[in-house]
């Protein structure tokens, strides 16, 4: 396993759904979304901690706020995961490495805080 800290995909704007978007969501509400708990919180993510498996593919992820607190984490029973839903691998990143202990400590905090 490899671990990194990245600021990629942290430029989300605060969601403000239009009437059309709200209507479409209500109309298509029966269709499962891959990350229902992420959508309203992506704009809060200042950096990501990502764990990659032996093949170099994303395995777990934690979205961290500017204050260093986890705001989203996955996968879990409700959310597939942002990075897990991409075709990116560790080779696509040139970011700061992270230790297993740093990741696991933050993962435990996320599990407790976010009730995963």
Q: pLDDT tens-digit profile of 9-67?
A: 898 777 666 665 565 555 555 555 566 678 889 999 999 999 999 999 999 999 999 99
The answer to whether the beta carbons of residues 3 and 49 sit under 8 Å apart is yes
Does residue 74 carry a pLDDT above 60? yes
Sequence length of the chain is: 116
CB 93 within 8 A of CB 47: no
pLDDT in tens, 82-95: 999 899 999 999 88
Does the pLDDT of residue 80 top 90, yes or no?
no
Q: What pLDDT was estimated at residue 24?
A: 56
C-alpha to C-alpha distances, 84 to 24, 36, 38, 66, 79, nearest whole angstrom: 25, 14, 13, 23, 10
Task: Answer for the pair 34, 79: CB distance below 8 angstroms, yes or no.
Answer: yes
100: pLDDT strictly greater than 70 = yes
Taking only Cα atoms into account, the Rg of the chain, rounded to an integer number of angstroms, comes to 15
Q: Tell me whether strands 2-6 and 70-74 are parallel, antiparallel or unpaired.
A: unpaired
Q: Where are the domains of the chain?
A: 2-114
């Amino acid at each position: 396993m490899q671990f990194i800290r990245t600021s990629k995909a942290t430029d989300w704007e605060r969601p403000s759904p239009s009437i059309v978007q709200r209507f479409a969501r209500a109309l298509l509400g029966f269709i499962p979304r891959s990350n229902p708990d992420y959508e309203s919180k992506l704009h809060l993510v200042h950096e990501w901690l990502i764990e990659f498996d032996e093949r170099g593919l994303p395995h777990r992820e934690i979205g961290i706020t500017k204050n260093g607190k986890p705001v989203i984490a996955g996968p879990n029973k409700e959310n597939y995961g942002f990075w897990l839903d991409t075709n990116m691998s560790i080779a696509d990143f040139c970011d700061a490495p992270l230790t297993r202990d740093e990741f696991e400590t933050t993962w435990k905090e996320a599990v407790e805080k976010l009730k995963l």
